A and B are shown apart, each in its own frame.
Chain A
Amino acid sequence: MTPAGTTGRGIAPSFRRVAGFLSAAGIAVVFALFVFGVAMRYLFDRPVGFVDEAVTLISVWSTFWTAAFVLKWPEHIAFDVVYAHVAPPAQRALLLAGATGFVILMGAAMPGMIDYTLFLWRERTDVMLLRLDWVYAVFPAFFAIILLRFVIVLRRLVGADWRAEVAHWSGADLDGDDDATAPKTPEGGA
């Protein structure tokens, strides 16, 4: 449906598959840890202290990882009150303005965010005693990836292929190649 190389609109498909696997693994590990924690406490009377912290940290990491690499733009929740009701050229203008503003604002914020994260080397988590600069690094890293993706969006919006990009943002191609990864629910994904 879309020209080769633009499938997924943002990140190369092979990388997306690896990223998607890691994101699924994250939630699977959280699930397994929860069940393990309940079993150890209730069945074996041996409560395990690190489970609470581990499930929390893995969930947070998994959230930012998935949002950065796996979620496509229309999968993020947004207000489309204006966007959905204007013609493609106006949609292009809206996206151009939004992406430019975001890149400038958050680009300016990046040095401060990185500096703060590095500052946290002196603090550790409560239970597993992981260094906070490492734990929190996922947040600036998330913004770095999002900024990069916005730069790609901007490049496409000013290029010849801009119509495909504005259509992607309205979710037009969301149920195309994506169905391959959606679960085959009994009702057929209704």
Chain B
Amino acid sequence: MTTGLWTLLATVVIGGLVRLPLALVMFAGGAAYLFATRQDIGLLVGQVMNQMTAMYVLVAIPMFILAANIMNAASISDRLWAAANALVGRFRGGMGHVTVVVSMIFSSMSGSAVTDAAGPGLVATRQMQRIGGYPPGLACAITAAAATIAPIIPPSIPLVIYALISGASIGALFLAGLVPGFLMGAALMLAIRAVAGRRALPVGEVVPIRAMPAVFGRAALSLTLPVVLLGGIWTGVFTPTEAAAVAAFWALILGAAVYRRIGIQTLGSVFGESARQSASTMLLIASAFILNYAIANEGLAARLALAITDLQLGPMQFMALVNLLFLVLGCFLDGSVMMLVFVPLILPSAKALGIDLTYFGIVVTLNFMIGLITPPYGLLLFVMASLARVPLGQIIREIWPFVLALGGVLAVLTVFPSITLFLPRLFGYE
């Protein structure tokens, strides 16, 4: 590593340890890097603002946070969760399973893991604590892990970007993500079951059968929300990014006109709270952009790619190394850096080894999703800590069973390409 990168790393580690806000520490790391390499310090402004003002899809994050807060204030979350509780609350750890299922449903509407965590995830976290008796750290860990499914089940922003980089078909990639997405859900549910048993989480309220129609009736209108969103996206009324705002709009109509829970005063404080929650998340994303620049400018990825090519591995050995590399890098780097800077450089090796590009795309994207929940740099961990106001340490302590579960899915998908490729082949993509 170069002096510049060492300076950056040292600044971030020391700044983090003395408890400075993480986003400010990353900005400072970027500044230190630019000073150490004698570059224009203005690049800090340029890189961060250029990327932030170009990332239209990022705006979905504040909108999904707003939607979640409106759903809370409108009593929509309560009604939905009462229905879910009637179904599975009697089982140990039931709320955790519901979280995963809700996350999978929202995955078919959003293309990014952060929006999934910020929207339905935040609601789920509160309900896991309240109804399911989950400790806050565990509730956040489950939500963060479940949110990683969002970009694997279509639509998906990372898969679209991968398609352009690799030349793989978007149609094939979207189909290929379905089965892995369900496998991730199943693996997380197994992990939740194990954790719930070991920790002896309390069993939820048992709802008698004769009370069920009333519970479901109360939730009926709220259940139109996912229907409106899914229908709207798949009939072309609005795009996945706009869907975030439409979700908030629909929840607002239900809350104000139907349930009569939201007045002007409530709405004002919902907007205020949403602005504060999204600011701390967006600031962290902003600070990652200066890191991206340092990595690209140092040519780090090119050197790594060269080293891998020199090893002359077989396809499976190569895939094992790619997984290992991305899991380790994922602890420290943002998924977007790995996708934009590293993937283009190792793709030629993958092509040369005859590795299917659709399969490769799903495997690397799953790697990046696991990177979102591995400390020390795990964007979803930060988002949950900020939104649910739970100390980061508590979430990190609870995340490991779920990292393990998703790692298991990764291993299975890597070893058996046909799991990924079965659906695309069925629909005629070779």
Which residues of chain A have a CB within 8 Å of any CB of chain B?
A: 20-21, 23-28, 30-31, 34-35, 37-38, 42, 52, 55-57, 59-60, 62-64, 66-67, 70-71, 73, 75-84, 91, 94-95, 97-99, 101-102, 105-106, 108-109, 112-113, 115-117, 119, 125, 135-136, 139-140, 143, 146, 169, 174, 181-187, 190
Contact = CB atoms under 8 A, between A and B. Distances in A.
A71 B72 contact: no
A23 B276 CA distance: 8
B323 interface: no
Contact of A23 (B46, B72, B279, B385): B279
Interface in B352-367: none
A135 to B, nearest CB: 7
B202 interface: no
A74 B81 CA distance: 30
A57 B45 contact: no
A95 B75 CA distance: 41
B135 interface: no
B165 to A, nearest CB: 23
B288 interface: no
Contacts, number: 233
26 contacts: A24-B272, A27-B275, A30-B59, A30-B63, A34-B242, A56-B53, A56-B54, A59-B58, A66-B279, A67-B23, A67-B283, A75-B386, A76-B24, A77-B385, A82-B17, A84-B391, A116-B45, A117-B45, A135-B53, A136-B49, A140-B45, A181-B272, A183-B69, A183-B266, A186-B73, A190-B126
B7 to A, nearest CB: 11
Interface residues of B, number: 79
Interface of B: 11, 14-24, 27-28, 31-32, 34-35, 40-46, 48-49, 52-56, 58-59, 62-63, 66, 69, 72-73, 75, 77-78, 126, 129-130, 237-238, 242, 244-246, 248-249, 266, 268-276, 278-280, 282-284, 286, 376, 382, 385-386, 389, 391-393
A75 B72 contact: no
